[in-house]
Amino acid sequence: MSKPEISIVVPVYNIAPYLEQCVSSILAQSFSNFELLLIDDGSTDASGEVCEILSARDGRIQVWHQPNKGVSAARNKGVSLAKGHYLCFIDGDDWIDENYLAALYQPCIQNEKQVDVSIIIYQYEYTDGHSRQIFHWQPAGLLPKGNILKQMLEVRYWDWVLHGKLYATALLREYPCHEGISIAEDLADNWVFLSAAQGVYYQPLALYHYRVRENSVTHWLHLDKWLEAMRVWLSLDILDKKKPDAQLRKVLSWQILDAWQDVTRRIPFATDQEEQVVKTMYSRSLQQRLAQAVSYMEQGQLCTWLRERFLCDYAAMQLDYQSLYARVRQAAEAGSLYLYGAGVVGEVAQVILETKEIKPAAYVVTSLTPGERRYLHGLPILALDEVQNQAQSVLLICAKTRNLEEMTNIALARNFQMCLLW
């Protein structure tokens, strides 16, 4: 076989039921000059055997088996074996449209020596057959060098996951994936890749299908994962006012505050050992970083709330969350707890609350369009105007920091008496 133009690396770990669909979608590509590297990372189910069976179908498929070392180590092994000029990563439980590779590859050829990262977007695919677009639209084209990291952190048009991107293989060889990180590793990797990239081309094409499995949300319960994610965010150390890019500092500040909330929301449910880790992390230096992050926010109601919740001692923060959960439980028992926000933050809230037998009545979104899904993880999705706004009703606002103030103002404008910030 001639040298492939693109290498596709698929890390494989205990995904036997989904692997054939993933590989079949790759073999059906309109662009055929590729090699497919299946890296079995010590699977304990039948995934390794499925890899071997699939490899017999097509000479472009190669299989590598190794002891379990984690997804980043599997990706690095794939990069070391790759023969293509360009490389993309695909998760083995996802699938792609037939023009996925062609769409990613075309800008690299049309802008030769200018583009070493090509980006398209993805959509969520749920087990009930519904799909969800999560990104806004912007025109295709080369991204301004000074705007790339800011756009990545804003998660408005695209984000920092490794899938949906085609990289120059030389770039990945120079900057290996971060091993030893089990969450937010994509963020750490793309921060480096995109900082070093000569040119990045973006297209608003949702050709990658990200499978949302019902059991995939359970990792949100583990506090140690979110402590690790917080460390990754803090490692992106640009919160220095002497540095010139104020907009990048601002969007990073949103993400640092979101990451810390992901940690602190779990405090009432933490074990003694976990709580000690959180207390240790909540050092003077972290408090200074949080204060710095809050200072980059727009002055107003949200800024005041952030100071009250996070710029206090640990005991006061713990008490604040205990009070929040007591009010939420009371509303749930009355059948009047609504999660305002049906995105990832709302999904996390549902998982955490239901482990403590706190059952929300429904998800709520500002408005619904015809054809939109009306159920998520067993709960109905209501438009804000459909919610019965009673005295005991609680609207728990579940959103990223950058959206909190806008959603709070919308709820208050609809005369909701009890709005709590998750």
- For residues 139 and 279, membership in a common domain is answered with no
The conformation of residue 98, written as its DSSP 8-state character, comes to T
**pLDDT for position 290:** 87
Same domain for 68 and 204? yes
Q: Is 89 or 284 the better-scoring residue by pLDDT?
A: 89
Mean pLDDT along residues 351-380: 88
pLDDT for the residue 198: 92
Asked if the model's pLDDT at residue 301 lies above 80, the reply is no
Q: Is 1 inside a domain boundary?
A: no
Confidence of residue 239 (pLDDT cuts 50, 70, 90): low
Instruction: Tell whether 301 and 396 lie within a shared domain.
Output: yes
Residues 386 and 324 in one domain: yes
Residue with the bigger pLDDT between 245 and 214: it is 245
- Asked if 278 contacts 270 with a C-beta cutoff of 8 angstroms, the reply is yes
Asked if 223 and 263 sit in the same domain, the reply is yes
Residue 123 and residue 41 share a domain: yes
pLDDT of 333-362, one tens digit each? 999 999 999 888 898 899 889 888 999 999
Q: Is residue 372 part of a domain?
A: yes
Which region among 24-38, 157-171, 241-255, 380-394 has the lowest average model confidence (pLDDT)? 241-255
Is 234 found in the same domain as 120?
A: no
- pLDDT over 70, % of the chain: 95
pLDDT per residue over 14-25, tens digit each?
Answer: 999 999 999 999
What pTM, to 2 d.p., does this model score? 0.89
Whole-number average pLDDT of the chain = 89
Q: Does the structure show a pLDDT above 60 at 9?
A: yes
Tell whether 307 is covered by a domain: yes
User: How many contiguous H segments (helices) and E segments (strands) does the chain have?
Assistant: 15, 16
Q: What is the mean pLDDT of residues 204-218?
A: 81
Q: How far apart are CA 406 and CA 382, in angstroms?
A: 19
Alpha helices (runs of H) in 159-208, residue ranges in sequence order: 169-174, 185-196
378: exposed, middle or buried (C-beta count within 10 Å: 0-12, 13-18, 19+)? exposed
> Above 90 in pLDDT, residue 190?
yes
Query: 1 or 80: which carries more pLDDT confidence?
Result: 80
Q: Do residues 419 and 301 touch, judged by C-beta distance below 8 A?
A: no
pLDDT confidence of residue 288:
86
Domains of the chain: total: 2
Residue 299 scores a pLDDT above 70: no
Q: Do you know the residue count of the chain?
A: 422
Instruction: Tell me which of 212, 239, 254 is where a domain ends.
Output: 212
Q: Is residue 271 part of a domain?
A: yes
**Last residue of a domain, which of 212, 237, 262?**
212
Tell me, what CATH number does 71's domain have?
3.90.550.10
Residues 325 and 407 in one domain: yes
Asked if pLDDT for residue 215 goes beyond 80, the answer is no
Average pLDDT for 113-120: 93
The predicted structure's pLDDT at residue 307: 82
Q: Say yes or no to pLDDT of 216 above 70.
A: no
Handedness of CA 395, 396, 399, 405 (dihedral sign): positive
Segment 122-139 shows an average pLDDT of 86
Mean pLDDT of 47-68: 96
Residues 169 and 305 in one domain: no
Domain end: 175, 191, 212, which one?
212
Mean pLDDT in residue range 305-322: 84
Residue 47 lies in a domain: yes
Residues 6+ apart with CB under 8 A from 147: none
Domain presence at residue 112: yes
Res 102 pLDDT > 60: yes
| pLDDT at 335 (0 to 100) | 92
Q: What percent of the chain has pLDDT over 90?
A: 53
One domain, residues 330 and 352: yes
Structure tokens at 15: 């995904």
CB 152 within 8 A of CB 194: yes
Domain span holding position 123? 6-212
Does one domain contain both 345 and 205? no
Mark whether 44 and 151 lie in a shared domain.
Answer: yes
Determine the Cα–Cα distance for residues 311 and 290; give it in Å rounded to an integer. 7
User: Helix axis angle, 272-281 relative to 246-264, nearest 10°?
Assistant: 160
Q: What confidence category does residue 187 fall into, taking pLDDT thresholds of 50, 70 and 90?
A: very high
Residue 107 scores a pLDDT above 80:
yes
Do residues 226 and 260 touch, judged by C-beta distance below 8 A? no
Asked whether residue 110 is domain-assigned, the answer is yes
Task: Kindly tell me if the per-residue pLDDT of 389 is higher than 90.
Answer: no
Give the pLDDT band of residue 244 (cuts 50, 70, 90): low
Let me know if residue 255 belongs to a domain: yes
Mean pLDDT of 255-276: 87
What would the mean pLDDT of 56-66 be, rounded to a whole number? Answer: 95
